[in-house]
Amino acid sequence: MIRCLYTASDRSDVRSPGTRRDEVQMKVAIQFEAQLRQVAGSGNVEIDVPDGGNLLKALQQVASSGSDELRDRLFTAEGTVQPSVLVFVNDHPVSSQFANVHVLNAGDTILLLPPISGG
């Protein structure tokens, strides 16, 4: 017997551009703080990512739909997440070096904090 572990509310019926018709999507929330909020033009966005998608792909998706400045603040020239950006998934820190292997789940909240300095 096969049992479904997800309810209809865990998944979105809406596909993101460029996804296959049969690819299951899930919603994740992204929160921008401080200067990133200004660059992103909003403090919060919700995106659809493929089921089993990782943190890096979600951030790339947000950056591709935003400004060049947002992309430059989130990513290095090599395409990795800027090590100076603090990333949290559901209030747990995730090192930028693990963004490509950190699998997201439906309903996750990603919090992005830019470097903060001053005194």
pLDDT of 67 higher than 70: yes
Residue 23 phi, psi dihedral angles, 5° rounding = -80, 125
Q: What is the pLDDT of residue 115?
A: 83
pTM of the predicted protein model: 0.78
Residue 95, CB-side half-sphere exposure with 13 Å CA sphere: 3
pLDDT tens by residue, 70-88: 999 999 999 999 999 999 9
CA distance 105 to 90: 10
Q: What is the pLDDT of residue 118?
A: 67
* Nearest in space to 28 (alpha carbons), one of 118, 109, 112: 109
Lowest mean pLDDT of 9-23, 27-41, 71-85, name the range. 9-23
Q: Are 47 and 14 in contact (CB under 8 A)?
A: no
Q: Domain 24-113 carries which CATH code? A: 3.10.20.30
